[in-house]
Amino acid sequence: MKEITPEEQFKETLNKLSEQLKEVESADIDEKTLKILNSVKEKTQHLLEEVKHSDTEKTYAEAIEHFEESHPELTSTLQNIMNMLSGIGI
């Protein structure tokens, strides 16, 4: 069985996040949630394109705080991504 590299695992997790964001987006959400959601989606797309942004951590931390109670699975995925970013030096 082929071992998954940290980079492959990171990309897979980002793709999972993208799918979860689509689910949240389809729900009835308020303006602040939509703004945060769009910001996270934008940062995620940049990460998928391998663009490094210094404010990604702040964006994800804000999203984690906002979605913590209402979307625990999304929050967990965001936390995993932040840990992976830290682990690969981004």
Classify residue 60: in a domain, yes or no: yes
pLDDT value at position 89? 67
pLDDT value at position 53? 47
12 within 8 A of 80, measured Cβ to Cβ: no
Closest by CA to 25, choosing from 58, 65, 67, is 67
Which of the 8 DSSP states describes residue 12? H
Classify residue 1: in a domain, yes or no: no
Average pLDDT value for the chain: 81
83 within 8 A of 75, measured Cβ to Cβ: no
Helix axes 31-48, 72-87, angle to 10 degrees: 40
Residue 64: Cβ within 10 Å count: 19
Distances from the Cα of 64 to the Cαs of 36, 58, 68, 75, in angstroms?
Answer: 10, 10, 6, 5
Mean pLDDT per 10-residue section of the chain, whose length is 90 residues: 75 84 79 86 76 67 91 92 78
Q: How many domains does the chain have?
A: 1
Range of the domain at 47: 6-24+31-87
Each residue of 19-42: pLDDT tens digit?
888 888 777 778 888 888 888 888
Classify residue 54: in a domain, yes or no: yes
16 within 8 A of 29, measured Cβ to Cβ: no
